Amino acid sequence: MEISEWNWKSLDGFDMYARGWAPQGDPKAAIMLVHGLGEHVARYDHVAAALTEKKYAVLGFDLRGHGKSGGPRGHAPSYDALMDDIASFSQQTESRYAGLPRFLYGHSLGGNLVLNYALRRKPDLLGVIATGPWLRLAFDPPASQVTLGRLMNGIAPGFTQHSKLNTQGLSHDQAVVAAYENDPLVHDKISARLFVAIYESGLWALEHAAEFPLPLLLMHGAADPITSAKASQEFAQKAGNKVTLKVWDGLYHEIHNELDKAEVFKVMLDWLGKH
């Protein structure tokens, strides 16, 4: 596996960081990766290693306001800006791997984004993988918090609060939790605009799930205390036979970082091979 790094400009001028993982020999498909809230794409080096071993090229970028990309931490000016960032990165993937089949893979916030991207932009892809997508949270946020978020979104969209992420709910592997908590590129920020955008787009995706246009592998940890596994099941039921749903008994939020991650990778690779 060969790792490469590069920078590019978003449509509105932010410096964006990208990372690529190339297999030895010719790849059979390219997988574009979109990470979750507060984290960054380099946390997926081991996921990319599992995929490149089977001859898939993997490419990802740090979302605006995350990792090594520009922008205020945990903020986006609009949901369309996030959609545009994925579209721009998809064009880069096409230029680097012209004519190669492509998949889109997102986790958590990234899962919300890739599901909505497929629904809203109708991209030319072979399929989508979403793990632990933020369609709904695993808990009901206080009504006052939602009201405050919507109020601040209207008058001060960049108003930022701590996300209060339950880091113990990421994985049963305490080494993963410790690494996350000590990672200087990880943050716990979310702006009013980003919260409202993701909250509302998750509900929108559930309402429009029956329109999902592509084959989808949808996976969730049944014991995820952060995002709702029931919402993923609801999405799969509405989307019908285009969806392969796998709910992992006992697993937490980051199924790719759990002690059973080898089994998770096997299911992912089997699905990719079929599509």
Provide the pLDDT for residue 159.
73
Contact by Cβ (8 Å): 67, 45 = no
Provide the pLDDT for residue 206.
98
- 0.85 exceeded by the pTM? yes
Residues of 180-189 as b/e, b for ≥16 C-beta within 10 angstroms? beeeeebbeb
Provide the pLDDT for residue 139.
80
Q: Is 193 exposed, middle or buried (0-12, 13-18, 19+ CB in 10 A)?
A: buried
Angle between helices 79-96 and 109-121 (to 10 degrees): 80
Q: State which amino acid sits at residue 98.
A: A
Give the integer Cα–Cα distance in Å for 112 and 18: 20
The DSSP code sequence of 73-130 is: TT--S-HHHHHHHHHHHHHHHHHHSTT--EEEEEETHHHHHHHHHHHHH----SEEEE
Provide the pLDDT for residue 259.
96
Provide the pLDDT for residue 140.
73
- For residue 272, the SS3 value is helix
Q: What are phi and psi of 39, to 5 degrees?
A: -105, -155
State the CB neighbour count (10 A cutoff) for residue 68: 17
Q: Domains in the chain, ordered, with CATH? A: 2-274 (3.40.50.1820)
Q: What is the DSSP letter of 225?
A: S
Q: State which amino acid sits at residue 97.
A: Y
Q: What are phi and psi of 135, to 5 degrees?
A: -90, -45
Provide the pLDDT for residue 148.
67
Residue 103: closest CA among 118, 122, 134, 125: 125
Provide the pLDDT for residue 42.
98
Angle between helices 143-155 and 192-207 (to 10 degrees): 110
- Note the maximum CA span of the chain: 54
Consecutive 10-residue averages of pLDDT for the chain (275 residues)? 96 97 96 98 98 98 98 96 98 94 98 98 97 92 68 72 90 98 97 93 98 98 98 98 98 97 98 96
Provide the pLDDT for residue 186.
98
